[in-house]
Structure formats: C-alpha cells, structure tokens
C-alpha cells in the first residue's frame, strides 16, 4: 500500500504536463494573434478560458482514472490489491492536481508573460515532496505543496479535511484567475 501510494502521487505529478500545456496554450494563442480573432466573435473571455481549463481538468481526471485502473488490474494479478483499491486512491489525488491547474490559470490571468512559471511551481511542489522531509523543513513549508494534504491511500485513510480544503483552494484560486483574465488586456 505504501508503494502504491507513493507511485500514485508520482503519477499524479506526472499528469502535470497535461494540465499545464492546455493552460499555457492560451498564452501562445494570445502571443500569435489567434486569441484576438476568437474573442472578436461571440466567444467571451470566460468561455474561452473555461474551455481550456475544462479540457485540462477533465483530461487530468481521465489520466488519473486510467492510471488507477491499469495499476489496479496489474496489481490485482499478483496481490490482493486491485482496481477497487487503486482507482479511488488515484482519483483522490485529483484535488491536488486541480490546485495546480488553478494556479496556472491564475498566473495566466494575472501575469500572462510569467505564466510559463507554472513549470517552476510544479518543480517546487515536487522538490518539497521529495526532499522537504529529508532537509527537515518545517511543516508549514511542506504544506505549500498540495500533494502534502492528500492522506495515505491506498490502505490508509484519506485526509477528508485536506481534500476539501484543496477543492476550496482550487475554486478560489481558479476564480481569481478567471476574474483577473477578464479585466486585463490581451498581451500581443
């Protein structure tokens, strides 16, 4: 269970390119002039940003479901752990992934030229998760990473308060990203 829990967290971080890339595509579309053409039609800013964020969110959830299912099928062939254990554990990482997506949306809405720093944010989360305890960092520093609030699945208990807090943070940060995008000029 400890092995699968660690691997599912790695794979959740591995879903990162799928949520960062569609969000950062917005920046390249604005830079290349395609955003102006789309926004000149009846498509509004929120609809455009929302479609990219929705594709990133649903794609990430789909990847997590595939990871949980395939890990469960392969583990079930040799152990007592199966899809019923690993699929929920993989999907339990979704709130942390959604926080990362929301941070990318906020960066794009607030500081579009710095939106590629979403890769740096992901790197900080990975470094905190991998080396934070080894370096004896304080709990508040480890808590910066959303992946630190997931609990210990499979085999343990989910941190329900942590998961709920991550969903609230994702909604608040994502909402702030949408609001800042709506109020700023396009960067061309």
Question: Considering the entire predicted model, what is its pTM?
Answer: 0.83
pLDDT of the residue at 86? 86
- Distance, in Å, from the CA atom of 90 to the CA atom of 12, rounded to the nearest integer, reads 8
Q: Mind giving me the DSSP string for 18-75?
A: HHHHHHHHHHHHHHTTHHHHHHTTT--HHHHHHHHHHHHHHHHHHHHHHHHHHHHHHH
The ranges of the chain with pLDDT < 70 are 31-40, 42, 151-152, 155-156, 185-188
pLDDT of the residue at 166? 93
What pLDDT digit, counting tens, does each position of 129-152 carry? 888 888 989 999 988 999 888 766
The closest of 15, 33, 187, 171 to 99, measured between CA atoms, is: 171
Residue count of the chain, please give it.
188
- Distance, in Å, from the CA atom of 1 to the CA atom of 15, rounded to the nearest integer, reads 21
pLDDT of the residue at 186? 62
3 state SS of 158: strand
**Cα distance between the two ends of the chain:** 49
Structural tokens at position 155: 């085999």
The closest of 50, 173, 17 to 106, measured between CA atoms, is: 173
């Amino acid at each position: 269970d400890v092995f699968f829990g660690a691997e599912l967290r790695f794979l959740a971080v591995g879903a990162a390119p799928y949520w960062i890339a569609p969000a950062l595509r917005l920046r390249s579309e604005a830079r290349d002039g395609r955003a102006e053409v789309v926004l000149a039609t009846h498509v509004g800013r929120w609809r455009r940003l929302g479609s990219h964020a929705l594709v990133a969110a649903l794609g990430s959830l789909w990847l997590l479901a595939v990871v949980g299912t395939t890990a469960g099928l392969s583990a079930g062939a040799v152990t007592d752990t199966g899809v019923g254990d690993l699929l929920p554990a993989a999907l339990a990482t979704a709130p942390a992934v959604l926080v990362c997506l929301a941070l990318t949306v906020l960066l794009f809405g607030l500081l579009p030229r710095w939106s590629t720093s979403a890769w740096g944010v992901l790197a900080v989360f990975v470094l905190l998760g991998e080396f934070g305890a080894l370096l004896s960092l304080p709990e508040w520093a480890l808590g910066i990473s959303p992946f630190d609030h997931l609990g210990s699945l499979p085999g343990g208990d989910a941190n329900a308060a942590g998961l709920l807090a991550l969903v609230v943070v994702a909604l608040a940060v994502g909402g702030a990203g949408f609001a800042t995008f709506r109020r700023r000029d396009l960067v061309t």
